[in-house]
Amino acid sequence: MHNRLFLRYLIVWVNGFVCLSLAVVVQPVQADQQVTVLVAYHSVSGHTEKMAHAVAEGAQSVSGTRVQLERVEKITANVLFAADALVVGSPVYWSNMAGEVKTFFDNWQFKFGVWPEFKMRNKVGAAFATGGQVSGGKEVTMLTILAAMLGNKMIIVSGGGVFGASATTEGDSPGINEQELADARALGKRVAEVAWMMKRGNVNRDTEEIGVTK
Ligand SMILES: Cc1cc2nc3c(=O)[nH]c(=O)nc-3n(C[C@H](O)[C@H](O)[C@H](O)COP(=O)(O)O)c2cc1C
């Protein structure tokens, strides 16, 4: 009799313990415990797309990071403004970013109404590029992407290279090599890490800038 009572208590106790443990483990990740990195790109022959996947892989390697990979023309206002960090990649067209990528930035205003609130303010930003020639405009391309982000008061980070990650895709260096992919992964990882620093530091994107008109 005693044994049966003890067994019943034991089952109730174990049940309670298991339920409590599950509740702790299966807790949904709250929005403020998650960082979203949006990787946006344009690509026709697939090189920039390959780099974009490697950037996404790098960001994904940082625990708790949610990564969204999208072609620039598919990105909506909701997706853009929900991201904590944005990495933009472009092929070099005539020593600059592709028209599609420039249109993406212009649409922040024309379609998404980013201004006057500066809705991208204090989000982390970074760039990557692929170009046919060794010296054919990859750095200009990354710098013009970063310039558009700076104009939107974003916080710019480097990674993989001085201005971002880049790859040479033609001539003596066809396609994307392992080092270029590693650079792209390094960029994605750093962007996610900095985005986490911002989130943990509880940076309030809505805080007024002192002495500066919006
Ligand atoms: C219209 C056009 C202009 C280009 N201009 C340049 C250039 O100025 N410098 C350069 O290095 N490569 C240039 N390229 C080569 C591309 O940047 C390169 O092939 C790139 O890796 C393509 O990216 P994707 O495969 O993602 O489309 C140009 C290609 C096209 C189609």
Binned at pLDDT 50, 70 and 90, residue 2 comes out as: low
Is 158 a domain residue? yes
**pLDDT tens digits, one per residue of 46-78:** 999 999 999 999 999 999 999 999 999 999 999
Measured in whole angstroms, the distance separating CA 119 from the mean position of its chain's CA atoms is 16
- Provide Rg for the chain, Cα atoms: 22
For the segment 153-181, what is each residue's pLDDT rounded down to a tens digit? 999 999 999 999 999 999 999 999 999 99
Average pLDDT of the residues in 140-164: 98
Does residue 18 lie within any of the structural domains? no
Q: What is the pLDDT of residue 149?
A: 98
Number of domains in the chain: 1
Domain that holds residue 87: 35-202
Nearest to 198 by CA among 37, 57, 82, 35: 35
Query: Is residue 156 within 8 Å of residue 162, measured between CB atoms?
Result: no
Residue-averaged pLDDT of the chain: 87
Indicate if ligand 1 lies below 6 Å from the C-beta of 141.
no
The continuous run of DSSP H or E covering 18 comes out as helix 2-25
Report whether 184 contacts 61 (CB < 8 A).
no
How many A from CA of 194 to the centre of ligand 1?
30
Residue 198 lies in a domain: yes
pLDDT at residue 206 in the model = 53
**Is residue 27 domain-resident?**
no
Q: Is residue 22 part of a domain?
A: no
Is residue 134 one of the residues assigned to a domain? yes
Can you tell me which residue has the tokens 């092929």?
91
- The residue-averaged pLDDT of 101-127 equals 98
12 touches ligand 1 (CB under 6 Å): no
Q: Name the amino acid, one letter, at 132.
A: G
CA 138 to ligand 1: nearest atom: 11
Asked if residue 25 is part of any domain, the answer here is no
Number of neighbours of residue 198 by Cβ within 10 angstroms: 18
**Dist CA 164 CA 70 (whole Å):** 19
pLDDT of residue 201: 87
**Cα separation of 128 and 57, whole Å?**
14
| CATH number, domain containing residue 92 | 3.40.50.360
Per-residue model confidence (pLDDT) at position 209 = 44
pLDDT of residue 11: 56
> Is the per-residue pLDDT at 15 higher than 90?
no
Q: Which helix (H) or strand (E) holds 144?
A: helix 138-151
In this prediction, residue 109 carries a pLDDT of 98
Q: Is 60 in the pocket of ligand 1 (CB under 6 A)?
A: no
pLDDT given at position 33: 83
pLDDT average, residue stretch 85-113: 98
Residue with tokens 């270029």: 180
Distance CA(89)–CA(163), nearest Å, equals: 12
User: Above 80 in pLDDT, residue 39?
Assistant: yes
pLDDT range class, residue 195, cuts 50, 70, 90? very high
In-domain check, residue 17: no
Counting other chains too, the contacts that 113-119 makes at CB distance below 8 Å and 24 or more residues apart are 113/77, 114/152, 116/214, 117/214, 118/152, 118/153, 118/214, 119/81
